[in-house]
Structure 1
């Protein structure tokens, strides 16, 4: 069937129109895709990933929540660099600044030998100035680098207490970094010794404000131990360390494990320090401890690389030879072993037949010297050393001369007196075959120090009996003033000299500085007591003006106390205006009495409100005061 010419023409036209439409749709889609990709790439490159892109033909629409008006504008500009700016439609929103919340206040203080650096955000310019002024005094000749910023937002609860605590911590740590927020204080520091580290950690834990988290990272340099000493004893009293040294935590743990396996009971302390004679210290010590355990009753002493093993007389000779042979063969090459099997005791060796020197250190610091010395020169040397070590007035000497004493007796006596100086109280006895020291000390490392000293002065093989107990010093609690006492002291100071202001102003007169200094001293002893700082005026002027002036004056007092480094978080400034006179307003003298600042403890009334306590009419009759209404409200005047 042959189609008429008109039909063929119409069909060709329809096909051409369809192809044109498809081409147009494809072209529009291609343009939209390229535009969207180009704008998306420009936004991502600028960091505006919060913006969304949609394209409708030639029109590009940006949506999303911009963090700020400036960033919204920058996103529009970035899109306009890849497409015609007239094609970009802005449909973005901007975050409401009021919904962002308060800024996070932080204070970071770095202190070293060059000075002090500050960085962070603090609530006000007054707080900023107070911190800088205080640290400038602490830095002395060092420089204070101030990079603090301020914000006039209200300070968060706990901020003043946290800052004060951080500043106090900084005062005792010359090499430290203190990070402060309202709820957390982090302390990183280096101290001079382990004892100082422990003292400061205890001090900071005790002084931490309530509600503030404390993070401590305080380190102390490892001491140099010379000689590097370890002494392990097994006798009728059991197994114990007289001295223990290790070069690292791993070596310490392995040494303690070896001692525990040998029969050591309870917790053992081992000083970690520098000066180890060999990297194989821990292996050599563990072998020696195992040898002592096998002998049953013996003492092994390591002084650097010199090792002395002294076995008790009850140890069989064959066992002694076997243990010593194995230990000598297996010790690391650098170590040298000297082993002794104590001979059986004879009648001549019994204590009653042995010459002795004794020194007794009493609780009051007095020292008694008794027993034998070889000659007058040795006596003079011993007494002179004792007087120089313990004080001339503290030494009582009653020694006698004995020419038959063993060689080296004077050296042993002087070493014993030096060891006695490590005790708080106790005694030391020197005999020909041993040195015996016993007593108490308040230094945790004294036992190690005594064993190290005697081994170094007298030799590793010297027979020692060390019975030293560590008794920590109990710090006496400083009596804390009660809140009532604080307020009573402040009231007495105000009675002696009131806080004066310039006429009609909240500016404190210079004459009030001594009174403010005294009040600041009292408040530092009761920083947790809730106290109201109340401002009062006379009746001259309008009620509203007097109310505002009295509150401004109370706030000025709180600010002045803050400058004096007082924690003011517990102080509440309130203005009462002229509503509570204490004298007649009809005379100048009465009006002068009514213009005053008062400090009162806060208490909770029966209805649950916090109110100040007034003691009227007598000191034992408390009565809550009623606070005034807001400015502008009707406040009845009183005449009492």
Structure 2
């Protein structure tokens, strides 16, 4: 009995123990699963889906691969909010960091008239000092602006050949933007002509190094044609252009088609350019060519919006009136027509009123380089100006002057003479004949555009009603001789000759160069191309009207305006200075209107080196007494 009781007691204890263990086990499992679900839920809320949670008793084991160390630490922190942090076992891994990539090295180079600028990132190993010296040689007087940054990484493959090619291209392209990267160069540039564009592209394509990709974007902007000129002649031999200009491909095609219908002989170049006076230029030109054809011949000159139609000698008045009337009605509103019906020349008589014949100026240029000037000029000043102009324009020629002064020459005679000489300078040999109603130029040239250039010069200088003929033959085998640079004296004489034909005038009280005065500045800029090393002073002068101090100030501003106008035309002006003299140096009588007009002038004078060295000594001219703040051309108060 007693043994049975003991067995029952032990059994009860065993069952109780088993129940307690079962209950404990149940509670532990419940706590583990609850903690695991709580941690997993928290991870999901924070988008840590890469992490796995395993419970081992009271310990939380975290596994998985974190994208970075910060995210791994975030998982540990969140798990520690659910269970004691000491029970969290970190078995997580972190994605190994990527090796640091070298930066993208590149340079952008910009070159213009002001200099060269650089921006970008380059390897630290690049010899910046050597590259700056090279760029300074390329820029010349311009400034080199280096805004590059560097990074200490190995020089990438393809960097050196690309950079060397880019530097060579930069030296050849004065207006360009060049982008450089390893194995790649992008070139954007502006050329002066289509021919230059082709030459640059061909040269650079040949120089492209192996392994470097080069893209070229070189544009050739159309030239500005001023004045916009066309000249068409029609006679028994057919039609021909001395000059042809158009502003669009379609317009050019229409002009050439109209000329072909009128009898154009051979192939003709018609330049495309900017500066057309009206979009209806092709309409005006084609209507005028057809009118010339209906007259049976003659000469057509269109200079900007001025149309000059010269009929053949002997044209019937009725036919002339009909054709001219129809053309006047057809021309666009902007254009004006000047029609000429030449009268047959009068028969010569033995007892003529003028035994010397009509006024004439003749210049002949021989193939050997002898320039002979003979004929009539209006005064000694014009004779000296013509000779100086010839010496400058034909600096390689021997000039022989046999001109004589004659009173009563026609108005505009000096302008006709200078325009003719400027035209003759485009020939290798030839002759110029200037008469009151005709300027004739004939000869040979090695310049392909000489006829068009001569037509432009004569059309501009002689005006809409100017009558001229051009008989110039282009010889491709000939090359324009390399002329010696003109002397300092010849430079000054050539510029003052231009001013003697058309002074640089200003509106009253103004220092702005406008209208016809710009033509003189353009001509001076052309002469200055060969005279940039000559030290010259631009002097402003006035008449005696108005207050002296006011005249002095205005003449200074006008002299400076001429200097700035030349600078705007890309003339190097380092050797030029501007000074106003007011009314202090008259060259004519201020008591007459003609004298005052002559005194209101701009003059160029040579600055002698000896005068600069004298300092305060005798080398100072009387103009040095005037203050530099102001100077004048007295048209301010009394332009007549």
Q: CA RMSD in A?
A: 5.4
Give the match for residue 423 of structure 1: 427
**Aligned residue runs from structure 1 range 448-527, under 5 A:** 448-461=452-465, 462-467=467-472, 469=474, 471=476
Give the Cα–Cα distance (whole angstroms) in 2 for the partners of residues 75 and 254 of structure 1: 76
**Aligned residue runs from structure 1 range 22-61, under 5 A:** none
The verdict on how the C-alpha distance between 1:399 and 1:470 changes in structure 2, with shifts beyond 3 A counting, is same
Q: Give the match's secondary structure for 2:457.
A: helix
Give the match for residue 556 of structure 1: none
Give the match for residue 307 of structure 2: 307
Give the Cα–Cα distance (whole angstroms) in 2 for the partners of residues 54 and 234 of structure 1: 92
Give the match for residue 235 of structure 1: 235
**What do residues 25-61 of structure 1 show as CA deviations (whole Å, max 9, x unaligned)?**
xxxxxx99xx89x97xx9xxxxxxxxxx999999xx9
Larger Rg: 2
Give the Cα–Cα distance (whole angstroms) in 2 for the partners of residues 76 and 286 of structure 1: 81
Give the match for residue 288 of structure 2: 288
1:329 is aligned to 2:329: yes
The verdict on how the C-alpha distance between 1:132 and 1:354 changes in structure 2, with shifts beyond 3 A counting, is closer
1:397 is aligned to 2:401: yes
User: 1:169·1:204 contact (CA, 8 Å) conserved in 2?
Assistant: no
Q: How many residues align?
A: 413
The verdict on how the C-alpha distance between 1:93 and 1:226 changes in structure 2, with shifts beyond 3 A counting, is same
Give the match for residue 376 of structure 2: 373
Give the match for residue 561 of structure 1: none
Q: Give the match's secondary structure for 1:126.
A: coil
Q: Give the match's secondary structure for 1:321.
A: helix
How many angstroms does 1:437 deviate by?
1.7
Q: Give the match's secondary structure for 2:234.
A: strand
Q: Give the match's secondary structure for 2:131.
A: helix
User: 1:122·1:128 contact (CA, 8 Å) conserved in 2?
Assistant: no
How many angstroms does 1:454 deviate by?
1.2
**What do residues 50-88 of structure 1 show as CA deviations (whole Å, max 9, x unaligned)?**
xxx999999xx999xxxxx9xx649989x99xx9999xx
**What do residues 89-110 of structure 1 show as CA deviations (whole Å, max 9, x unaligned)?**
9999999989x9x998644312
The verdict on how the C-alpha distance between 1:138 and 1:392 changes in structure 2, with shifts beyond 3 A counting, is closer
Give the Cα–Cα distance (whole angstroms) in 2 for the partners of residues 147 and 93 of structure 1: 33
How many angstroms does 1:188 deviate by?
2.0
Give the match for residue 147 of structure 1: 149
Give the match for residue 199 of structure 2: 202
Give the Cα–Cα distance (whole angstroms) in 2 for the partners of residues 310 and 475 of structure 1: 33
The verdict on how the C-alpha distance between 1:153 and 1:424 changes in structure 2, with shifts beyond 3 A counting, is same
Structure 1: give runs of 5+ residues left out of the alignment.
1-30, 43-52, 64-68, 477-640
Q: Give the match's secondary structure for 1:323.
A: helix
How many angstroms does 1:261 deviate by?
5.0
Q: Give the match's secondary structure for 1:449.
A: helix
The verdict on how the C-alpha distance between 1:390 and 1:463 changes in structure 2, with shifts beyond 3 A counting, is closer
Give the Cα–Cα distance (whole angstroms) in 1 for the partners of residues 133 and 468 of structure 2: 61
The verdict on how the C-alpha distance between 1:135 and 1:414 changes in structure 2, with shifts beyond 3 A counting, is closer
User: 1:170·1:178 contact (CA, 8 Å) conserved in 2?
Assistant: yes
**Aligned residue runs from structure 1 range 332-347, under 5 A:** 332-344=332-344
How many angstroms does 1:167 deviate by?
1.5
Give the Cα–Cα distance (whole angstroms) in 2 for the partners of residues 150 and 406 of structure 1: 79
Give the Cα–Cα distance (whole angstroms) in 2 for the partners of residues 248 and 174 of structure 1: 27
Give the Cα–Cα distance (whole angstroms) in 2 for the partners of residues 216 and 435 of structure 1: 47
Give the Cα–Cα distance (whole angstroms) in 2 for the partners of residues 179 and 416 of structure 1: 49
**What do residues 552-583 of structure 1 show as CA deviations (whole Å, max 9, x unaligned)?**
xxxxxxxxxxxxxxxxxxxxxxxxxxxxxxxx
How many angstroms does 1:267 deviate by?
4.2
The verdict on how the C-alpha distance between 1:141 and 1:54 changes in structure 2, with shifts beyond 3 A counting, is closer
**What do residues 273-301 of structure 1 show as CA deviations (whole Å, max 9, x unaligned)?**
23x43343332223222323333422211
Give the Cα–Cα distance (whole angstroms) in 1 for the partners of residues 181 and 440 of structure 2: 55
